[in-house]
Structure 1
Amino acid sequence: MSSITVRNIPDEVHRAIRVRAATHGRSTEAEVRSILEQAAKPEGRLKLGTMLASIAREAGGLTDEELALFENARDKTPAEPMRFE
């Protein structure tokens, strides 16, 4: 997992996060992780796969034959890792 160092947080903000963490029964660090996750991945966000599935449903979906065409055309070979040589 990655880590981030945040400097120069105002005392009032740090204090408010500590209070919020105590209210939720977790450490300040866990509270900051929760805040960042909620900000980066909000509950109501539209996910690409969900949107594409919705479009396909509205268009009538795929027949079994169309699905077979996609499956046959799909490249199933594993991707090669990048090389920086």
Structure 2
Amino acid sequence: MASVTIRNIDDRLKQRLRVRAATHGRSMEDEARDILKMVLSQQETSAGSLAGAIRARMQPLGGVELEIPSREPIRDAPDFSAL
């Protein structure tokens, strides 16, 4: 099994983890492991495309109609024969 060290945790966050671990009758390490397992397993089941996630988040805000610019004809290729 791999080990992970987490530095610079906010004191309030650490205190909340300590209280939550005590409430469940386990160590802070066990509690953190369980939280990570729970959160990451939820994300795996709801994983979809990034575009779908963005669309779902923005859909309640409504759409925006953008003007499509007109296209110009393709330019002629440059002539490099004189070089």
TM-score using structure 1 length: 0.50
Q: Which has the higher helix share?
A: 1
Structure label with greater radius of gyration: 2
Note the alpha carbon deviations across 1:13-71, whole angstroms, 9 max, x for none: 00000000001110000000001101111299269xxxxxxxxxxxxxxxxxxxxxxxx
Letter of the structure 2 residue corresponding to residue 37 of structure 1: K
1:23 is matched with 23
- What is the total number of aligned residue pairs between the two structures? 47
TM-score using structure 2 length: 0.51
The whole-number CA distance in structure 2 between the counterparts of 1:28 and 1:4 is 14
Unaligned 5+ residue runs, structure 1? 48-85
Unaligned 5+ residue runs, structure 2? 48-83
Q: Give the superposed CA RMSD.
A: 2.1
Q: Which runs of 4+ in 1 moved over 6 A?
A: none
The whole-number CA distance in structure 2 between the counterparts of 1:24 and 1:11 is 20
